């Protein structure tokens, strides 16, 4: 199983949009587990479910097994562990290593080909737990100055986490989102990411497409649409590039 964590501490940088489309795109190539680690529960909504009030992925921090939180989705090959809406990470002193421990004890890798994790826009124990199991990290960013700054901050957080665990840093991909090639700042920001952090990390950009916002209403990720659209094509290309990397 390859575990792909979608993260950026900056809010509104299309983490969830990317997580649900990558998870659904990978589900055409194998069985996928989607973990909605953000208590907002938007990834759960994105695949046609709801954040749960009683049992969700965050229940593992309260003693549950990970497997008992699994629910099927209407989408083929896609299993969800939904967000537990009331969970408050700050009520707990030490949550280190719990997701990693569940993966190992429950042999999760034997049941899925891919695990995709949507994370909250904070550098908290939830994000740290997900980095502890990451083979690959995708950092979506909106291409403007603060977006580039946030990528640098996220990379530093990844190095810090890898050092604390005494392991190599996960494979990193940087994904420009809401990209408009006619806006100079967008082109310049992508160039800056290339020169500052390495062009080999860059994935092809995702353009602006209102359908990517509308898809949350239907609970059907755009990549599964019958009708081709710009957002669908961009995320198909993204999945293709991620498959080549993992």
Ligand X SMILES: Nc1ncnc2c1ncn2[C@@H]1O[C@H](COP(=O)(O)OP(=O)(O)OP(=O)(O)O)[C@@H](O)[C@H]1O
Taking the complex as a whole, the smallest distance from the CB of residue 196 to ligand X amounts, in Å, to 21
Residue among 108 and 209 whose Cβ is closer to ligand X: 209
The whole-angstrom separation of Cα 108 and Cα 243 is 20
Range 225-244, binding ligand X (CB under 6 A) = 231
Which residue, 65 or 218, has its beta carbon nearer to ligand X? 218
In whole angstroms, how close is the CB of 209 to ligand X at the nearest point? 5
Task: Say which entry of ligand X, Mg ion, none residue 27 contacts (CB below 5 to 8 A, set by partner kind).
Answer: none
End-to-end CA distance of the chain: 10
State which of residues 49, 175, 206, 238 lies at the interface with ligand X (CB under 6 A).
Answer: 206
Of 112, 99, 120, which is closest to residue 42 (Cα–Cα)?
Answer: 120
Nearer to ligand X, 27 or 126 (CB): 126
Q: For Mg ion, give the closer residue by CB, 15 or 102.
A: 15
| DSSP string over 63-132 | T--SGGG-EE-SSTTEEEE--BTT--GGG-S--TTHHHHHHHHTTGGGT-SEEEEE--SS-SHHHHHHHT
- Of residues 163, 208, 218, 228, which one binds ligand X by CB under 6 A? 208
Could you tell me which residues are beta bridge partners of residue 35? 81, 117
Tell me if 162 sits within 8 A of 168, measured CB to CB.
yes
Each residue 146-185 as x (binds ligand X by CB under 6 A) or -, in order, gives: -------------------------------xx-------
Which parts of this chain interact with Mg ion (CB under 5 A)?
15-16, 42
**CB of 124 vs ligand X, minimal distance in Å:** 13
Report, in Å, the least distance between residue 57 CB and Mg ion.
14
Shortest CB 103 distance to ligand X, Å: 23
* In the complex, least distance from residue 81 CB atom to ligand X, rounded to whole angstroms: 17
DSSP letters for 168-218: PPPEEEEEE-SB-TT-HHHHHHHHHHHHHH-GGGBPPPPB--THHHHHHHH
The rounded distance, in Å, linking the Cα atoms of 111 and 242 is: 21
Residues in Cβ contact with 209 at an 8 Å cutoff, skipping those fewer than 6 apart: 222, 229, 230, 231, 234
How many residues touch ligand X (CB under 6 A)?
Answer: 19
Q: Does 12 bind ligand X (CB under 6 A)?
A: yes
Q: Which is nearer to ligand X, 78 or 138 (CB)?
A: 138
Contacts with ligand X by CB under 6 A lie at 11-17, 38, 42, 121, 177-178, 206, 208-210, 212-213, 231
């Amino acid at each position: 199983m390859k575990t792909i964590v979608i993260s950026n501490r900056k809010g509104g940088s299309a983490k969830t949009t990317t997580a649900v489309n990558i998870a659904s795109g990978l589900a055409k190539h194998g069985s996928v587990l989607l973990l909605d680690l953000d208590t907002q529960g938007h990834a759960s909504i994105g695949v046609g479910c709801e954040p749960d009030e009683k049992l969700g992925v965050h229940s593992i921090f309260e003693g549950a097994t990970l497997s008992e939180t699994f629910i099927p989705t209407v989408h083929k090959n896609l299993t969800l562990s939904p967000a537990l809406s009331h969970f408050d990470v700050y009520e707990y002193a030490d949550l280190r290593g719990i997701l990693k421990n569940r993966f190992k004890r429950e042999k999760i890798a034997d049941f899925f080909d891919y695990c995709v994790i949507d994370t909250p826009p904070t550098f908290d124990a939830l994000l740290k737990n997900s980095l502890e199991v990451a083979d690959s990290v995708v950092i979506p960013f909106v291409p403007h100055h603060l977006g580039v700054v946030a990528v640098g901050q996220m990379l530093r957080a990844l190095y810090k986490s890898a050092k604390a665990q005494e392991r190599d840093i996960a494979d990193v991909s940087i994904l420009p989102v809401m990209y408009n090639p006619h806006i100079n700042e967008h082109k310049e920001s992508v160039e800056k990411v290339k020169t500052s952090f390495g062009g080999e990390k860059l994935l092809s950009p995702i353009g602006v497409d209102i359908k990517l916002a509308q898809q949350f209403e239907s609970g059907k990720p755009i990549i599964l649409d019958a009708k081709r659209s710009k957002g669908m094509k961009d995320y198909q290309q993204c999945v293709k590039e991620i498959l080549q990397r993992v």
